[in-house]
Amino acid sequence: MKWNFTAAKTYVLLETAHGDIYFSYEEKELVMKAPEPETYRKMYEDFSSDTDY
Write out pLDDT tens, residues 1-53: 688 898 999 899 898 888 888 888 888 888 888 788 888 889 989 888 887 66
- Going through the chain in order, the beta strands assigned E by DSSP cover none
Cα Rg, the chain, nearest whole Å: 10
Helices 5-17 and 37-49: crossing angle in degrees, nearest 10, is 50
pLDDT value of residue 33: 84
SS3 assignment, position 42: helix
pLDDT value of residue 35: 83
SS3 assignment, position 52: coil
Q: Domain limits at 44?
A: 5-49
pLDDT value of residue 27: 86
b/e per residue, 4-22, with b = 16+ CB within 10 A?
eeebebbbebbeebeeeee
| Structural domain count of the chain | 1
pLDDT value of residue 18: 86
